[in-house]
Amino acid sequence: QFLGAVLIMTGLYINVFGLRWRKAVKVRG
């Protein structure tokens, strides 16, 4: 269960980071 929770948290973190990165690129672009 612990490993699964870590994978889920990591996935959510990557998704949020990706959205912020895309927004930053759109603003710059």
Model confidence pLDDT, tens digit, residues 1-29:
899 999 999 999 999 999 988 888 888 76
Query: For residue 3, which amino acid is it?
Result: L
Torsion sign, CA atoms 24, 27, 28, 29: positive
User: How many angstroms separate the CA atoms of 11 and 18, rounded?
Assistant: 10
**What pLDDT, on the 0 to 100 scale, is given for residue 29?**
65
Tokens of 5: 């929770």
Q: Distance between CA atoms of 28 and 19, rounded to whole angstroms? A: 14
Query: pTM score, two decimals?
Result: 0.54
